[in-house]
Amino acid sequence: MMPFTLLIMILIAFPVSSNGGKWGYNGPNGEHHWPKHFPYCGGAFQSPVNFQPELLRYDPNLFAIQLQNYNLSSREQLTLSNNGHSVQLSLPSYMQLTGLPHRYSAAQLHFHWGTQNVQAGSEHTVNGKQFAAEMHVVHFNSGKYPNISMAVDKSDGLAVLGVFIEVGEFNPAFEKFFKYVNGIKYRDQKVQVPAFNIRELLPSRLDEYYRYDGSLTTPPCFPSVLWTVFRQPVTISLRQYLALATALYSSHAQEVAPMPMLGNYRKPQLMDNRVVLVSFQDGDFTWMSWGSLISIVMASGLGLLLFIAFCWCLLRKRSEADQEKFGADGFHPSERQEKISRV
Ligand SMILES: *[C@@H]1O[C@H](CO)[C@@H](O)[C@H](O)[C@H]1NC(C)=O
Ligand SMILES: *[C@@H]1O[C@H](CO)[C@@H](O)[C@H](O)[C@H]1NC(C)=O
């Protein structure tokens, strides 16, 4: 009887402990295996996507993103945590986005990044270019739902701000919580950090962005996100980038084999007939692919050559006509004059 109950216990425990709900970014729990346990991950309207020039449509009705109560008081405390997939900072729901079809309240922000050596870990890409990292500021539709758990699986449930991060100049705003990451090296660890002005984490230009309907980029991949990805990146220093890429583990402190937390980004997904609306329209070459730019340069070059050839032909014709006009003996008037004077 004992071995039988043990077997039952193992059978019950097995799918819960080793498979169900467990996901990561490589190996047997990597993104290709997500749809087995999270069917939406294999479904439509998934994120991230690559912002290819051919898919972009300028929309003059996309105005600058409006933030409310983003300047938090340092008397307030925010929870910085390691959830085993990323670093997450909790945000109060009185922080809001306005100017969108609904009112959205903030819930948390988190990051996706590359590895120590390969500083390419953004989820969205711009014409194939991957940035070093990406920040997502997650909001839920508080005009319609009481909390994020009720909103997360609804088609109009979430609005996420995406920010591209490049390695460059030191960023003092990010340091306000990056300096605490050594306190959350392992999964499920948390620390309280003093709040600050969250606006400083965003790029200066809030009027230039990509907008499309997509999903959570992590399981369960619900297609519930109105995406706004800012065009302008922010920078963090190499030392700050390495704080993300080398200090954190996706495993618990007591686990014997620590699993470094890196390369925690999902690859671009199919567009499924979606277009990406853009709020900006300007003369730089993001509007044209290099292919069409090269064709334009070549066509202009060819046009110039044809024009030169045409002028050359015209001049030649004219000089031939001149020769015919000035005497059948083939001399120009001045030459004829010379001849006459010599005679
Ligand atoms: C943010 O709030 C603090 C006081 O809490 C104030 O000193 C600071 O000027 C504010 N910053 C901005 C950009 O409004
Ligand atoms: C969210 O709201 C629903 C409905 O009011 C409630 O049942 C649930 O407990 C709430 N969840 C959280 C995490 O607050």
> Are residues 333 and 212 part of one domain?
no
Residue 1 in any domain: the answer is no
CATH of the domain at 156: 3.10.200.10
In this structure, the chain runs to a length of 343
Q: Of 247, 281, 315, at which residue does a domain stop?
A: 281
Write down the H helix ranges in 199-289: 238-247
> Are residues 270 and 204 part of one domain?
yes
**Is the peptide bond preceding residue 48 cis, with omega within 30 degrees of 0?**
yes
Instruction: State how far the alpha carbon of 215 is from the alpha carbons of 133, 221, 270, in Å.
Output: 18, 6, 12
**3-class DSSP assignment, residue 44:** coil
Residue nearest (by alpha carbon) to ligand 1 atom 6: 71
Per the structure, the count of domains in the chain is 2
Q: pLDDT per residue over 121-142, tens digit each?
A: 999 999 999 999 999 999 999 9
Q: pLDDT per residue over 289-308, tens digit each?
A: 556 666 667 777 787 888 77
85 is catalytic: yes
Q: Give the max Cα distance, the chain.
A: 141
Question: Which tokens hold the place of 93?
Answer: 């729901």
Question: 27-30 long-range CB contacts below 8 Å, 24 or more apart?
Answer: none
Give the integer Cα–Cα distance in Å for 213 and 226: 5
Q: Ligand 2 mean position to 84 CA, how many Å? A: 24
Which ligand number lies closest to the CA of residue 152?
2
Q: Ligand 1 mean position to 242 CA, how many Å? A: 30
Q: Which residue has the higher pLDDT, 158 or 320?
A: 158
Q: pLDDT per residue over 36-87, tens digit each?
A: 999 999 999 999 999 999 999 999 999 999 999 999 999 999 999 999 999 9
Active-site option among 85, 110, 112, 252: 85
> Are residues 124 and 32 part of one domain?
yes
CB 78 within 8 A of CB 192: yes
> Are residues 334 and 269 part of one domain?
no
Residue 71 in any domain: the answer is yes
> Are residues 68 and 139 part of one domain?
yes
What is the domain extent for residue 217? 23-281
Q: Ligand 1 mean position to 71 CA, how many Å? A: 6
**pTM, rounded to two decimals:** 0.79
Question: Which tokens hold the place of 109?
Answer: 């922000």
CB atoms within 10 A of CB 98: 11
Looking from the CA of residue 199, the nearest atom of ligand 1 is: 13
State residue 183 phi and psi, 5-degree precision. -85, -5
Residue 10 in any domain: the answer is no
> Are residues 174 and 319 part of one domain?
no
Give the integer Cα–Cα distance in Å for 123 and 131: 8
Check pLDDT > 60 for residue 332: no
> Are residues 254 and 133 part of one domain?
yes
Task: Please report the sign of the dihedral spanned by the C-alpha atoms of residue 201, residue 203, residue 208, residue 210.
Answer: negative
Which ligand number lies closest to the CA of residue 145?
2
